Structure 1
Amino acid sequence: MAELLDFVMERLAAEGHPVEAFQAAQDFVREFGALRLVIPGTPPDAVGFTPHWIYEESGEDVAELAGNLGNKLFPVGYETFDGAMLLIDETGRFFLMHHTGPYFLGANTHEAISCLLHGPQQEARDCFV
């Protein structure tokens, strides 16, 4: 998994928006890295708990959200259906960067998984500083 952490850090740094694999991100990847969570429903969806760079300019979007939250963020997964990026902050909170906007998933891993499976997702702006 260290290679994936390094890949994400290198890719976002190349975009001019470096991130670091802080302790909460490392702990999550160590415990859940490479797992796949199937989300019931139609269309079929899943979340891969693997650090991943999603699209050009991901770094800018991650940096903007981190600034609004007042905390560092690190990508630790992605939704397979629409490419939304799963992010963790330094305190262990989870966010989803979706093309419709950023969402807060929960204050810890268990809340985030429950939210991904059952909803509802809260707009991340409620967590902005």
Structure 2
Amino acid sequence: MNSSSGRRDAEAWLRRYGWSPERDIGTEADELIRKAQEQAVECGISWSPSEYAHTFVKNYGGLKILLHESPENHFFADPGFPYKGGAEEIEELSRELGERVFPLGYDSYDGAVMVVDEKGRFFVVHHTGNYYLADDSLQALWNFKKGDVQDAEDFHV
């Protein structure tokens, strides 16, 4: 975060939706991850979650977080992808980064999917392109909300 007040703002926003730094959904995270893996297999793709993906799902999994009120847009912290072709787009980003990525959730407005790679970098796969969010989950969600992104091409191998 750029400042401690920015971090406090992000934490206050997420707390309204049931998040806390201590949140841990335990074995439910494994079930959510397994469902995302099964969804990928249906598309002929195999995903393995990194420690960063597993930690994110344990801490945020199952939350519905309001990103914007008009039009109403939520981030669903539900690993997987919401539309046909999503797995292929996620795999394409993985190839471009030279790192495995795992989907963490998506927005309800246009189906943008947040992913994390094996280095702990968070990106968003969007119909307009792929974007880097942050190296920290809290900052990544805050940047997703604010639309503060960087072109993912800057991270391609």
TM-score of the pair, normalised by structure 2: 0.76
Higher strand share: 1
Q: Distance in 2 between matches of 1:94 and 1:23?
A: 13
Indicate the structure (1 or 2) with the bigger Cα radius of gyration: 2
Q: Distance in 1 between matches of 2:139 and 2:89?
A: 23
CA contact (8 A) 1:18 1:59 kept: no
Q: Distance in 2 between matches of 1:85 and 1:46?
A: 12
Percent identity between the two aligned chains: 33
Q: Distance in 1 between matches of 2:96 and 2:128?
A: 17
Partner of 2:67: 39
Give the counterpart of 2:41 among 4, 10, 13.
Answer: 13
Give the aligned residue type for 1:7. K
Task: Flag as ranges the 4+ runs of structure 1 deviating above 3 A.
Answer: none
Partner of 1:84: 112
SS in 2 for 1:42: coil
Deviation at 1:58, TM superposition (A): 2.0
Partner of 1:24: 52
CA contact (8 A) 1:47 1:77 kept: yes
CA contact (8 A) 2:39 2:80 kept: no
Cα RMSD between the aligned structures?
A: 1.4
Deviation at 1:82, TM superposition (A): 1.0
Give the counterpart of 1:65 among 81, 93, 101.
Answer: 93
Equivalent pairs, count: 129
TM-score of the pair, normalised by structure 1: 0.90
